[in-house]
Amino acid sequence: MARRKWHTVSFREQIRKSPGPFIVYILLRLSVILILIAQVFNRDWKNVMLCGLTLILFTVPSFIEKNWHIDIPGTLEVIILLFIYAAEILGEIRAYYVNVPGWDTALHTITGFLSAAVGFSLVDILNRNEHIKMSLSPVYVAMAAFCFSLSVGIIWEFFEFSMDMFFGLDMQKDTIVHSISSVTLDETMSNKVITIKGITETTVNGVPLNIDGYLDIGLIDTMKDLIVTFIGASVFSPIGYIYLKKRGKGRFAKRFIPSLHSDDNEEKKEEKNN
C-alpha cells in the first residue's frame, strides 16, 4: 500500500491559486483591524472582542483547507468572508440589524444556502469514499444537504434563545405588531381565542413604551429566520441534485461545493491500484 503524504498548501501557492479571495481577505482584515483600534480608543471592549472574533473566523476557511485537505471554491470563500464581516462588523458593531430592514433575514437566507452546500459536500465526500460502505442516490444526497441546513438553522436559534434567557441579550430581535390573538385573554377560560386589533401603544407597569404597537418578544424573528433558512436550503438542494446527476459538470454548483484536494483523490486511486 502506498504511503499517504498529505501536502500542505503554502501561503504563496494560495495567493497564486486564488488571488480574488486573498485580496478580499486582506481588505476585510485591514478594515477590521482599523475598527478594532478605534474601539480600543473608545474603550468599547465588547466591540473589541467582536473584532477579535471576526479576525479568528476569517482564518477558518484557510485552516480547513490546510488541515482537512478540502478545497473551498473561491466564490464560496469570498461569500463566507463577506458573510462574517456583514454579520459581526456591520450587523453588530454598525447596528445594521436594527437600522437596515431585512439585514438579519438576508443573512439567514444566505446561511440556509451555504449550510446546504456544506452539508451536500460532506455527504458527497463520504458517499464517494471507497473505505466507507455508503452509496446514496443524488436524491438522498440532496435531501441530506437540505436536512443538514435546517438542523444548522435550528441549532443556531437554540443558541440565540439560550443567550437571551441566561445572559439577558437580545439576539432574537423583537418585532412590533399591531394585533394579537391569544386564549390567555379569555376570562371565561374556555380556550376561546381573543383578538385585539389596532394596537397603537403598550404600557408596562403603568409606564408607556415608546413604540406604536405591541412588542413581540422574539417569536416572529425566530420563525422568519427558520423560514428563510428553509428557502435558502430549498434553492441549493435542486442545484446539488443536478450537479450529481451530471457528475460535477455543472459550473455554477462547483462554485459553492467544497471537495477533497485533487492530490488526495489521485492518492486514493493509486492506493486502489496497488
Per-residue pLDDT tens listing for the chain (274 residues):
333 333 444 556 666 666 888 899 999 999 999 999 999 999 999 999 999 999 999 999 988 888 888 888 989 999 999 999 999 999 999 999 999 999 999 999 999 999 999 999 988 888 777 666 667 888 999 999 999 999 999 999 999 999 999 999 899 988 999 999 999 999 999 999 999 999 999 999 999 999 999 989 899 999 999 999 999 999 999 999 988 888 766 678 888 988 887 655 444 444 445 4
Asked whether residue 21 falls in the same domain as residue 128, the answer is no
The answer to whether residues 250 and 138 touch, using CB atoms and an 8 Å cutoff, is no
Asked whether residue 69 falls in the same domain as residue 186, the answer is no
Asked whether residue 238 falls in the same domain as residue 156, the answer is yes
Asked whether residue 146 falls in the same domain as residue 210, the answer is no
Please report where in the chains the cell 486514493 appears, as a residue: 268
Asked whether residue 179 falls in the same domain as residue 224, the answer is no
Asked whether residue 162 falls in the same domain as residue 266, the answer is yes
Asked whether residue 228 falls in the same domain as residue 137, the answer is yes
What's the number of domains the chain is made of? 3
Note the pLDDT of residue 125.
83
Helix axes 103-128, 219-245, angle to 10 degrees: 40
Range of the domain at 209: 175-216
Q: How far apart are the first and last CA of the chain?
A: 6
Asked whether residue 147 falls in the same domain as residue 204, the answer is no
Own/partner contacts of 155-164, CB < 8 Å, gap of 24 or more, are 156/111, 156/225, 157/222, 157/225, 157/226, 160/222, 161/218, 161/222, 164/218
The answer to whether residues 142 and 122 touch, using CB atoms and an 8 Å cutoff, is no
Asked whether residue 241 falls in the same domain as residue 156, the answer is yes
Short-list 206, 201, 196, 193, CA closest to 176? 201
Asked whether residue 207 falls in the same domain as residue 224, the answer is no
Cα 227 from chain centroid? 14
Note the pLDDT of residue 11.
53
Asked whether residue 40 falls in the same domain as residue 112, the answer is no
Chosen domain end from 100, 131, 157: 100
Chosen domain end from 69, 100, 131: 100
Asked whether residue 64 falls in the same domain as residue 161, the answer is no
